[in-house]
Structure 1
Amino acid sequence: MSTIKKLLFVLLGLVITSLGIKILSNSLLTFGGTAGIATILTYVTNISWGVLFFIVNLPFFFISIQELGKWFTISSLLSITGISFIREGLDLWIPAFDINIILATVIAGLLIGFGVTFVLNNGSSLGGIHILGLYIDKKFGLNRGIVLFVCDSLIILFAVAIVGWYKGLLSIFCIFIASTIIGRYKKSPIKEMERDQEEHYLRQNVH
């Protein structure tokens, strides 16, 4: 797959994921992973979600640069920066709106699931738990969808004290939907990049 096409798919994934997170926030729900951590921190600080999301993800890049490669790490860093800006922009472009909370849970889960899948399957990630999931998938062959669901559910438990049990359970259901999609349609971005590098090497040495 060409680099430009991959970049377009990653960008599409960032926009779709940002919209899903926007719907969750609008319904006072939350998500797992570093997105959930950033959301929780917005309740106790005056720092914006985008800035917090970027900061929270930084430690995970030490794992990425050592285990998943330089280019994957750079791509993920760009995706983190991109979704931070897109998410902030959606708050400016899309006003608050009312939607049934259960419907919001399902729609957000679908959007985040397919959005993250676009990002992951095209050689990038949204940092944090996604990097951890890819590392465990690569190292031990454990489905990254399962890793994401378990880790995200644990993080949600900490958010329950803020959003309440009902919204906490709905948030877990949203995570379940998203994680199921991610696990179902997964590819290995690491193998994709290795194959692209091999094809590039062969093209250079044919002549």
Structure 2
Amino acid sequence: MYFLKKALLVLMGLFLTAFGTKLLTVSHLTFGGTAGISTLLTFSTGISWGVWFFVINLPFFILSVKRLGISFSVYTLLCISLISLINEFLKIAPSPGMHPLLIAIVSGLIIGTGVVLVLNNGASLGGIHILAVYMDQHLSINRGKTLFLTDFIIVISASLMVGFVHALYSIVTITIASYLAGKFKPQGTKNDDENDLTLEAQA
């Protein structure tokens, strides 16, 4: 029953994250991490976001196996696959009357909530999230700070493609999402957290 509850929460988190990133894509905004890189590649190649997200995350999956253990890595691979599929089937019509700043805020809240549900229940969304979990567990660097810094760099780089103003709106999204991810962590000791995240390997 406990496992089923965690699985349902992770699935809910994946749906929310996919919905948020899809909303950003149709609004010509972007995000950080591998999600943001996938969005930019979608803009430039026309190949779907889900395909790019899956391909880009494969090298990070290998790193996860070596550093964070097989259980965490398997959960993460499943999450990467599921969010790619969910994003492929989600259909969101663009809303011309909705201001990009409002879209950025709403997307940040949705994605941040989704990330919290995934990370707090034993998995990650791959890519930078693997790095964030590792640094949080082994170096005591808040995962929200890691996510914000890496996402900030990616979004600023993306300004060349989506425009400076849209990049600024995207920074609003990653600020909100990173804050939520760093704020709402599982309570307990370090060992409790490691058990929750099924981290088997030590640095």
Which residue is equivalent to 1:108?
Answer: 107
Distance 1:194 1:162 in 2: 39
Structure 1 residue aligned with 2:13: 13
> Identity rate of aligned residues, in percent?
47
2:153 corresponds to which residue? 154
One-letter amino acid of the counterpart of residue 95, structure 1:
A
Instruction: Tell me how far apart the structure 2 counterparts of residues 152 and 106 of structure 1 sit (CA, whole Å).
Output: 16
The DSSP-based 3-state class of the residue aligned with 2:28 is: coil
Runs of 4+ displaced beyond 3 Å:
none
Q: Distance in 1 between matches of 2:69 and 2:25?
A: 33
Q: Structure 2: which amino acid aligns with 1:191?
A: N
Please name the residue that 1:135 is paired with: 134
Residues 35-184 of structure 1 mapped to structure 2, 5 A cutoff = 35-91=35-91, 94-98=92-96, 99-184=98-183
Letter in 2 for 1:149: F
Does the aligned pair in 1 maintain the 2:27–2:94 contact within 8 Å? Answer: no
- Cα separation, partners in 2 of 1:62 and 1:189, compared to 1, 3 Å: farther
Uncovered stretches (5+) of structure 2, i.e. residues with no partner: 187-191
Q: Is the 8 A contact 1:60 1:127 kept in 2?
A: yes
Establish whether residue 28 from structure 1 lines up as the match of residue 34 from structure 2. no
Relative distance call for 1:194 and 1:22 in structure 2 (3 A) is closer
User: For the Cα contact (< 8 Å) 1:124–1:189, is it kept in 2?
Assistant: no
Structure 1 unaligned spans of 5+ = 198-207
Check whether the contact 2:136–2:142 (CA below 8 A) recurs between aligned residues.
yes
Quick one: which of 181, 187, 194 aligns to 1:190? 194
Alpha-carbon deviation of 1:178? 0.3
CA RMSD for the aligned pairs?
Answer: 1.7
| Cα shift at 1:21 | 0.8
